[in-house]
């Protein structure tokens, strides 16, 4: 049923149409608001603002539901590979066997870096943050792909997507190797996506790293669970950049920068730092939680809370189970996991967190799982970026394919000085 929204402003009334999504999410279409009324809406942090319609990912934050292209995340976690999931997210349906094979072949063909691009690594100091390197290198990739600056057909789009998804893994591993002063490892064409990444991270010229199958599985799961999450901060950034007509490489490089912050992708690092702090300080978990709750406290319980989920983040449930299984199988006794469990118990039973609907989010357990895989802390957010690449590409594609897409350009309410005269420097 279609509804109308009536707004009364300055004695006049205006009707605006409403829109309804396929899962009955409702919005008020205010596209003509400013032209008709002279008013804009103000929604700092965009908590109530739909910036687009999208057919990629559905989230019901109250019920803890996440689906890519309609398929529940639980089914993909159990049955799909990351590459199959990536294709689904980008192209809107599961690939046929032939399409999947073609995409895999493209990934393998693109796993190496151009030797000149490889040389760029030398320009970074050894302690450079891998997120800075990743963003710079994804942008630099565009210099080597002149035919992909303007994507006009599906084949070029698939080639470009394969190029970024494949090379981002090589760049990530290379930035780690550079940071510890080890030689960069070439990829192995016969390895799967995840095994190849682990090989480039941990093999040495004189010693091949053989990952436990449980580690490969956990990595695949981690990447699948991060593949998309509708209009989060980094994806919105990708869409913003894409809306100017910028190429896929530039748009995804911008996504990496947005992901870096501790309130977004950087939270998986902040979780481990918090757990380490509690462990090393000898502080009781309940005392830490009490500190977080203090009025005017700047401390937050990292890995808790979400702008959209007001229930358990479904990704954290899957990751927690995988973390438990992997730690048991590898016989890892991680004291941080104990603290994490205690924190979860305290927070889930504390009225402060219950009333505010603050549940563990994906970052709470992803840190634990990455740590158990041997991934260093400063690479955690890079791992998130590798996983999120299909989502960024799918969102870039949605804008690129939409003939009605407009330049994203929000308005503001100006609260600065009213007009004043310039004062010469000797009179200030
Ligand atoms: N610990 C303690 N209190 C919290 C937390 C937290 N983690 N998160 C929110 N709150 C409190 C706020 O202080 C606020 O309390 P108040 O009403 O008394 O002022 C209330 O809950 C609402 O918080 P907001 O900041 O309005 O919630 P918002 O939706 O803006 O924030 C966010 C969401 C940024 C994720 C927040 O919960 C947070 O900072 N969490 C910790 C960081 C984190 O884990 N980020 C990862 C998110 S998942 C991802 O990006 C992949």
Nearest-10 crossing angle of helices 233-243, 380-401: 40
Q: How many helices (H) and strands (E) does the chain have?
A: 18, 6
Cα-to-centroid distance, 95 and ligand 1 (Å): 37
Q: Any catalytic annotation for residue 228?
A: no
Query: Tokens 């890995």, residue?
Result: 303
Distance from C-alpha of 323 to C-alpha of 369, rounded to nearest angstrom? 5
Classified as helix, coil or strand, 279 is helix
pLDDT band at 313 (very low <50, low <70, confident <90, very high): confident
* Ligand 1 binding pocket includes 361 (Cβ within 6 Å): yes
Give, for 105, the enclosing helix (H) or strand (E). helix 97-109
Q: Is 343 in the pocket of ligand 1 (CB under 6 A)?
A: no
Question: Of the residues 306, 313, 350, 400, which is catalytic?
Answer: 306
Q: What is the pLDDT of residue 1?
A: 64
pLDDT of 58 > 90? The answer is yes
Distance between CA 173 and CA 183 in Å, rounded? 11
Q: Is 137 exposed, middle or buried (0-12, 13-18, 19+ CB in 10 A)?
A: buried
> What is the pLDDT, as a whole number, of residue 57?
98
CB 362 within 8 A of CB 316: yes
Reduce the DSSP state of residue 11 to 3 states and report it.
coil
The residue whose CA has the least distance to atom 28 of ligand 1 is: 307
Residue bearing tokens 């590798």: 386
CA distance 154 to 106: 14
Tell which atom from ligand 1 comes closest to the C-alpha of 233: 50
Probe target for ligand 1 pocket from 305, 313, 356, with the most ligand atoms within 8 Å of CB: 305
Residue 78 has pLDDT above 90, yes or no: yes
Least confident of 17-31, 62-76, 265-279, 393-407: 265-279
- Specify whether the CB–CB gap between 356 and 105 falls below 8 A: no
Query: 227-280: per-residue pLDDT in tens?
Result: 999 999 999 999 999 999 999 999 999 999 999 998 888 888 889 999 999 999
375 pLDDT band, cuts 50/70/90, is very high
Query: Do residues 413 and 40 touch, judged by C-beta distance below 8 A?
Result: yes
Mean pLDDT, to the nearest integer, of 388-401? 97
List, for residues 115-158, the tens digit of each pLDDT value.
Answer: 888 888 889 998 899 999 999 999 999 998 888 888 889 999 99
Structure tokens at 18: 């409403």
Give yes or no for a contact between 121 and 174, defined as CB atoms under 8 angstroms apart.
yes
Centre of ligand 1 to C-alpha 245, Å, is 33
Read off the pLDDT of each residue in 71-96 and give the average, rounded to a whole number.
Answer: 98
Annotation marks residue 363 as catalytic: yes
The more confidently predicted of residues 245 and 348 is 245
Is the CB of residue 302 below 6 angstroms from any atom belonging to ligand 1?
yes
Q: How far is the CA of 364 from the centre of ligand 1 (A)?
A: 13
Instruction: Give me the chain's average pLDDT, please.
Output: 93
Q: How far is Cα 366 from Cα 81, in angstroms, rounded to an integer?
A: 18
Q: Which of 5-9, 206-210, 333-337 has the lowest mean pLDDT?
A: 333-337
Answer yes or no: is the C-beta of 301 below 6 A from any ligand 1 atom: yes
- 3-state secondary structure (DSSP) of residue 60: strand
What is the distance between the alpha carbons of residues 190 and 236, in angstroms, rounded to a whole number? 35
Q: Which helix (H) or strand (E) holds 212?
A: none
| Structure confidence at residue 59 (pLDDT) | 95
pLDDT (tens digit per residue) in 4-35:
999 999 999 999 999 999 999 999 999 999 99
Say how far apart CA 348 and CA 148 lie, in whole Å.
Answer: 49
Protein residue with its CA nearest to atom 50 in ligand 1:
264
State in Å: Cα 302 to ligand 1 middle: 8
- Residue 362 CB–ligand 1 contact under 6 Å: yes
């Amino acid at each position: 049923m279609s509804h109308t929204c009536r707004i009364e402003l300055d004695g006049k009334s205006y009707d605006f149409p409403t829109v309804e999504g396929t899962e009955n999410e409702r919005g008020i279409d205010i596209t003509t608001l400013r032209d008709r009324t002279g008013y804009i809406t103000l929604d700092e942090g965009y908590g109530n603002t739909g910036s687009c319609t999208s057919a990629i990912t559905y989230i019901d934050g109250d019920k803890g539901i996440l689906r890519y292209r309609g398929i529940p995340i639980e089914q993909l976690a159990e049955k799909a590979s990351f590459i199959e999931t990536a294709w689904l997210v980008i192209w809107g349906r599961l690939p046929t066997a032939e399409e999947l094979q073609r995409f895999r072949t493209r990934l393998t063909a693109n796993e190496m870096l151009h030797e000149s691009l490889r040389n760029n690594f030398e320009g970074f100091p050894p302690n450079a943050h891998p997120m800075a390197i990743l963003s710079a290198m994804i942008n630099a990739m565009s210099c080597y792909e002149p035919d992909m600056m303007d994507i006009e057909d599906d084949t070029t789009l698939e080639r470009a997507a394969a190029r970024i998804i494949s090379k981002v893994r090589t760049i990530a591993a290379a930035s780690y190797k550079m940071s510890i002063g080890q030689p960069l490892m070439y990829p192995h064409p016969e390895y799967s996506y995840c095994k190849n990444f682990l090989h480039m991270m941990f093999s040495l010229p004189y010693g091949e790293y053989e990952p436990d199958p449980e580690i490969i599985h956990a990595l695949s799961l981690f990447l699948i669970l991060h593949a998309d999450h509708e209009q989060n901060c980094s994806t919105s950034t990708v869409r913003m950049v894409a809306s100017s007509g910028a190429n896929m490489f530039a748009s995804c490089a911008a996504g990496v920068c947005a992901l870096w912050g501790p309130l977004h992708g950087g939270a998986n690092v902040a979780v481990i730092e918090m757990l380490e702090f509690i462990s090393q300080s000898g502080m009781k978990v309940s005392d830490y939680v009490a500190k977080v709750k203090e009025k005017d406290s700047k401390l937050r319980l990292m890995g808790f809370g979400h702008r959209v989920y007001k229930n358990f983040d479904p990704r954290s449930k899957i990751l927690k189970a995988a973390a438990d299984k992997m730690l048991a199988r590898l016989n890892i006794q991680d004291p941080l996991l104990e603290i994490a469990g205690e924190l979860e118990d305290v927070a889930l039973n504390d009225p402060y967190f219950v009333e505010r609907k603050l549940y563990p989010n994906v970052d709470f357990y992803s840190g634990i799982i990455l740590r158990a895989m041997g991934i260093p802390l400063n690479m955690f957010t890079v791992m998130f970026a590798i996983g999120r690449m299909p989502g960024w590409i799918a969102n870039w594609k949605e804008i690129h394919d939409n003939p009605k897409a407009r330049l994203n350009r929000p308005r503001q309410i100006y609260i600065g000085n009213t007009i004043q005269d310039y004062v010469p420097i000797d009179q200030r």
